[in-house]
């Protein structure tokens, strides 16, 4: 098997694909969260970014909340939340005493800006 994006290389560059879909706002925003992310494949990311512009014009309040809470927000594990509580209480928390793996700790530090 060949990946779909590689299988399309035999198509002429002037071939367009047209498709229609029906989606609710919840699932559309879920799609955009995944596909507008910096880790998404470039081609779908460009498409998703254009869709974000359309959605922000269509439902500005919902899109603003989406940007604040989903795109700009973070989800924490119970261990990470516990570490934040301990830090707020004045305790020095390290990877060794956090109960997190090294990978989890790196992700945690990225979220809290260390």
66 and 17 in one domain? yes
Q: Which structural domain range is residue 105 located in?
A: 78-112
pTM passes above 0.85: no
Q: What would the pLDDT profile of 66-104 be if each residue is shown by its tens digit?
A: 999 999 888 899 999 999 999 999 999 999 999 999 999
62 and 22 in one domain? yes
In angstroms, the CA 5 to CA 26 distance is 27
Residue 42's pLDDT is what? Answer: 93
16 and 43 in one domain? yes
Query: Which of 8, 33, 35, 70 is the catalytic position?
Result: 35
Q: Are 22 and 29 in contact (CB under 8 A)?
A: no
62 and 9 in one domain? yes
86 and 46 in one domain? no
Average pLDDT over residues 6-23: 75
Residue 52's pLDDT is what? Answer: 97
85 and 61 in one domain? no
Residue 100's pLDDT is what? Answer: 96
In angstroms, the CA 6 to CA 21 distance is 24
Is 4 assigned a catalytic role?
A: no
82 and 57 in one domain? no
Average pLDDT over residues 10-37: 86
65 and 82 in one domain? no
Non-local CB neighbours of 104 within 8 Å, separated by 6+ positions: 77, 79, 80
89 and 43 in one domain? no
How many domains in the chain?
2
67 and 87 in one domain? no
Q: Report the mean per-residue pLDDT for the chain.
A: 91
Average pLDDT over residues 105-109: 95
What's the 3-state SS for 8-75? HHHCCCCCCCCCCCCCCHHHHHHHHHHHCCCCCCHHHHHHHHHHHHHHHHHCHHHHHHHHHHHHCCCC
Question: Residue 17: pLDDT above 90?
Answer: no
Would you call 105 exposed, middle or buried from its count of C-beta atoms within 10 A (0-12, 13-18, 19+)?
buried
């Amino acid at each position: 098997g060949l990946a779909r994006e590689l299988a399309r290389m035999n198509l002429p560059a002037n071939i367009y694909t047209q498709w229609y879909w029906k989606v609710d706002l919840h699932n559309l925003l879920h799609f955009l969260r995944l596909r507008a992310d910096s880790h998404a494949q470039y081609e779908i990311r460009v498409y998703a970014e254009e869709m974000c512009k359309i959605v922000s014009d269509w439902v500005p309040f919902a899109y603003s909340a989406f940007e604040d809470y989903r795109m700009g927000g973070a989800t924490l594990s119970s261990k990470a939340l516990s570490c934040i509580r301990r830090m707020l209480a004045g305790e020095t928390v390290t990877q060794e005493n956090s109960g997190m793996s090294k990978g989890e700790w790196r992700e945690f530090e990225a979220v809290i800006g260390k």
